[in-house]
Amino acid sequence: MRVGETFKLRVRRENPATNTGTTYQEFDIPYEPGLTVLEALLHAKESFDHSIAIRFSCRMASCGSCGMLINGLPKLACYTQINETSTATITVDPLDHYPLVRDLVTDFQGFFEKHKTVSPFLLRQNIAEQETSKSEYYQTNSELDGFLQFSYCIKCGLCNAACPTMANDSKFIGPQALGQAYRYVADSRDEGAIQRLKAVDHEHGIWRCHFAGSCSFVCPKGVDPALGIQKLRGLTLSKSSASRAGTSLMPVKTK
Amino acid sequence: MSVLESRVSENPYEIRNEAHTIMDKYVYVYRTGTGLEQGLRELRALHRRAFRHVDDQAMEYNSNFINVLELESMFEISEIILVGGLNRTEPRSAHPRADYPTRDDEHWLKHTLVYYKANEPRLDYAPVTITNYQPTERHY
């Protein structure tokens, strides 16, 4: 596509509160190099129809607000350029597996509730020490490498929208929260592994995943939640022997 | 009449872009007294335009409504920046005045306070509390 040409942006419109059904609205958007789907949507909102509902904030793939289906795939609108898509018409839909608020805006309340169930913060046995700590908790580079990629999660929820298991089981904790469970379990500064593994060891937890891997495929930040879930399974299976030995759940380094 | 019922016709998003252009032209990196005065005139003229209306009548996730309210606030904040900068006849950190090249601690080592008043903001000043670090001239 060249400067001066226009392309069609097809936007799904729906307001469940007014029960007016689903329609698609088409806009002709002028192309320019580097134009993102979010900018195209804002152009449509500002110039053609002020009532399009879009959620966005940072415009640079760090807030995780503008997740939507772009030509059927879960993507961040701000992180997807028009020239990445090969079709003449670009269709945008709200994310799957979330309740619809309106147009492209979905409700993340349940998503964040599931995220909370895995205690996504450092847990220490000695809480008084943690609250009054005089220095940082040290960590080697290789210890950091063990979980670093999982800490890039921005809670955009694309993985849960891509997950086929989320489609079948609304109670499934989902790849986002499970990936974050692993992020803290694998952190050498954390001492809450047993509590966290217990929170995911049930029929709507790690065992429900059937390893389609679509969560890892769509993650815009390079997180591999599917890997995290497999690691959680391994750790859960070795949990009893590890707790008997009174050692860390992470593989013990031999000197 | 509330902004939701208003039926004026100018596109608030275009007005917002024009406000960006004015602020960018006169209040961005280098400032002068005449530039700030011109900016203030243009911004106030723009503020009087008929943009206060909301096309989106939905009660759910109505960002059009928020955008119009935000634009009104942007005008107030922009005016505060312009008036505060116009009064401060010296350069200081992010306020370089091309027409007053030397910092003036004798008159201007003080905070600008701005209060809401109908028509134009009211200015006041407060002394600076200096603790560990003495103010010195910046060299680059």
pTM, two decimal places: 0.89
Query: CB of A166 within 8 A of CB of A172?
Result: yes
Residues of B in contact with A102 (CB under 8 A): 58, 60-61
Nearest to B61 among A45, A49, A101 (CB): A101
What's the Cα-to-Cα distance from A148 to each of A40, A122, A140, A224, rounded to whole Å?
Answer: 33, 14, 12, 11
Query: pLDDT (tens digit, 9 = 90+) per residue, A87-136?
Result: 889 999 999 999 999 999 999 999 999 999 999 999 999 999 999 989 99
In the block, tokens 């597996």 appear at A97
The residue that leads in pLDDT, A173 or A1, is A173
Query: CB of A27 within 8 A of CB of A8?
Result: yes
> CA Rg, chain A, in Å?
21
Amino acid at A62: S
* Chain B touched by A107 (CB under 8 Å): no
* Chain B touched by A17 (CB under 8 Å): yes
Mutation pick from A13, A20, A46, A50 vs chain B, by most beta carbons of B within 10 Å, is A50
Residues A17, B61: C-beta atoms closer than 8 Å: no
Per-residue pLDDT, A255: 44
Query: CB of A225 within 8 A of CB of A179?
Result: yes
Q: Closest Cα partner for A229 from A188, A184, A193, A179? A: A179
Smallest CA–CA separation between B115 and chain A, in Å? Answer: 29
Beta bridge partners of B122: B115
Strands A89-93 and A6-13: parallel
- The tokens for B25 are 């032209």
Nearest to A102 among B11, B55, B58 (CB): B58
Residues B13, A54: C-beta atoms closer than 8 Å: no
DSSP state of B23: H
Query: CB of A218 within 8 A of CB of A158?
Result: yes
Mutation pick from B18, B61, B67 vs chain A, by most beta carbons of A within 10 Å, is B61
Query: pLDDT (tens digit, 9 = 90+) per residue, B32-91?
Result: 999 999 999 999 999 999 999 999 999 999 999 999 999 999 999 999 999 999 999 999
- The tokens for A1 are 């596509």
Query: pLDDT (tens digit, 9 = 90+) per residue, A137-187?
Result: 999 999 999 999 999 999 999 999 999 999 999 999 999 999 999 999 999
Mean pLDDT of A218-237: 96
* Chain B touched by A101 (CB under 8 Å): yes
Residues A15, B56: C-beta atoms closer than 8 Å: no
**What is the ipTM score, two decimals?**
0.86
**How much of chain A exceeds pLDDT 70, in percent?**
94
Residues of B in contact with A55 (CB under 8 A): 61
Helix (H) or strand (E) holding B122: strand B122-127
Smallest CA–CA separation between A106 and chain B, in Å? Answer: 10
Residue B77 sits at the vertex; the CA angle it makes with B127 and B83, to the nearest 5 degrees, is 60
| The length of chain B, given as a count of residues | 140
User: With 60 as the cut, is the pLDDT of residue A247 above it?
Assistant: no
**Chain B positions with Cβ closer than 8 Å to A:** 11-14, 54-64, 67
Q: Closest Cα partner for A57 from A42, A69, A47, A45? A: A42
